[in-house]
Amino acid sequence: MAFDGFRPLDEKILVEYLKATPSLAAKLGNKFDGFEIKEVGDGNLNFVYIVIAPGGSCVIKQALPYIRCIGESWPMTQDRAYFESSTLQEHGRLCPEHVPEVYHFDRTMCLIGMRYLEPPHIILRKGLIAGIEYPLLAEHMSGYMAKTLFYTSLLYLTTTNHKISRYCGNVELCKHTEQVIFSDPYKVSEYNRWTTPYLDADAEAIRVDNILKLEIAELKSKFSERVQALIHGDLHTGSVMVTTESTQVIDPEFSFYGPMGFDVGAFIGNLILSYFSQDGHSNEGADRKLYKVWILKTISETWNLFHTKFTALWDKHKDGPGEAYLLEIYNNLDLQLLIKKKYMDDLFHDTLGFGAAKMIRRIVGVAHVEDFEWIKEANKRADCERKALNFAKTLLKDRRQFHNIGEVVSAIELFDTR
């Protein structure tokens, strides 16, 4: 059976494909009896098949040529499978402990074969909605972000190795991000939605807020024009699979050379969304007060550990190949402290800005989050969303006034009690 063109997978085709592909067949122990195949993709962007055989397992992900939830009118390049596979491999090389191994990539079929993240791995967002604490989450995510961002930046790479043209091609997904995060929520768009009628005035207020628009323009310009590191590009809590011991980052199809704060902000912004959604889930039996404290602690620790680990990598490689700050120039301790403080302050403010932008778009833009969507009573959901939205607006506008993550956490608590 030949696969010389793109064919959408079904179970039959998948089985033939697995048999015909040595790298995948080997992962299944080369035995094709007693197979179990399950399609688990949300079907919006990709097919995702879990394959469990007596001799092993794998996940097969195939990119489809459009976003199914919106319709074929919003096509999405299948090249994203190439960028996803490239970044899984590159980030996996830098941080194998938190990135699933890639076994196989087929550009024509837009197909990635990779490690199956076995139970009890679940999507972090679902764990947060269920109120499950992950004691190692901040430790793990800070390590993943510190390694992937530091090692793909000019702090570690030479200019020649940094400006790789490989990711220039991922424009279509960047363009999608630009539209849904930096544009649509700030204008009338057929794709926008919100908890109506409760948030009608709130959504309208965003569309007439000049200062907010000025700030989002600055972030959009950074997103489009700043080639800082190979970022994941979509690092929300739905792109992370967890158990209490393991943290695995998946789905980097939006990856490109962009601003680091976009990744760190995506993760922290989604933790803040989770925080503000908790009151909507607290009547389901469990009291979420302590859980909210844990989320805030996780937010603090994520940034603080990221800061510690990132700057430790910088120290470790200060006489390495990185070309941003040559040791011959930045040759005294005072100066090294100055540049580090400036760099990390900028990254902190980028993180807050992008985090806030990600929160806003999840409440009044096209794609919402289950954290809020699963709150059935609309008025209750709207109350949670409004608090999150008001906090995000302040964070976006006043981000440069925050000096550390502790001040951010205090502000979250303040907006929660308003």
**Residue ranges in contact with its own copies by CB under 8 A:** 154, 158-160, 162-165, 168-169, 171-172, 174-175, 178, 183, 186-188, 210, 213-214, 217-218, 220-221, 224-228, 323-326, 328-332, 334-335, 338-339, 342
Q: How far is the CB of 259 from its own copies (least distance, A)?
A: 9
**Which residue's CB is nearer to its own copies, number 318 or number 380?**
318
Q: How many Å apart are CA 86 and CA 253, to the nearest integer?
A: 9
Q: Minimal distance in Å, beta carbon 228 to its own copies?
A: 5
Neighbour-count burial for 125-134, b at 16+ CB within 10 Å, e otherwise: bbbbbebbeb
Closer CB to its own copies, 167 or 291, in the complex: 167
**What are the tokens at 111?**
């197909």
Please identify, using beta-carbon distances, which residue of 15 and 227 lies nearer to its own copies.
Answer: 227
Closest approach, Cβ 154 to its own copies, in A, equals: 6
User: Which C-beta is closer to its own copies: that of 33 or that of 225?
Assistant: 225
Of the pair 10, 204, the CB lying nearest its own copies is at 204
| Contacts for 271 with CB less than 8 Å, ≥ 6 apart | 128, 237, 295, 298, 299, 302
State the SS3 of 240-299.
EEECCCCEEECCCCCCEEECHHHHHHHHHHHHHHHHHHHHHHCCCCCCCHHHHHHHHHHH
Considering beta carbons, is residue 217 or 290 the nearer one to its own copies? 217
Q: How far is the CB of 153 from its own copies (least distance, A)?
A: 9
Alpha helices in 72-136 (DSSP H): 80-94, 124-129
- 376 is written with which tokens? 């059935």
Smallest gap, in angstroms, from Cβ of residue 210 to its own copies? 5
Please report how close the Cβ of residue 110 comes to its own copies at its closest, in angstroms. 20
The residue type of 334 is D
Q: Which is nearer to its own copies, 224 or 390 (CB)?
A: 224
Question: Edge-to-edge, what's the strand order for the sheet holding 240-242?
Answer: 122-123, 240-242, 247-249
Locus of tokens 């091609």: 169
Nearer to its own copies, 31 or 187 (CB): 187
In the block, residue with structure tokens 């999507």: 123
Least Cβ distance, residue 208 to its own copies (angstroms): 8
CA distance 324 to 301: 27
Give the full edge-to-edge strand order of the sheet including 102-106: 36-39, 46-53, 56-63, 111-114, 102-106
Contact 325, 155 (CB under 8 A): yes
Least Cβ distance, residue 152 to its own copies (angstroms): 12
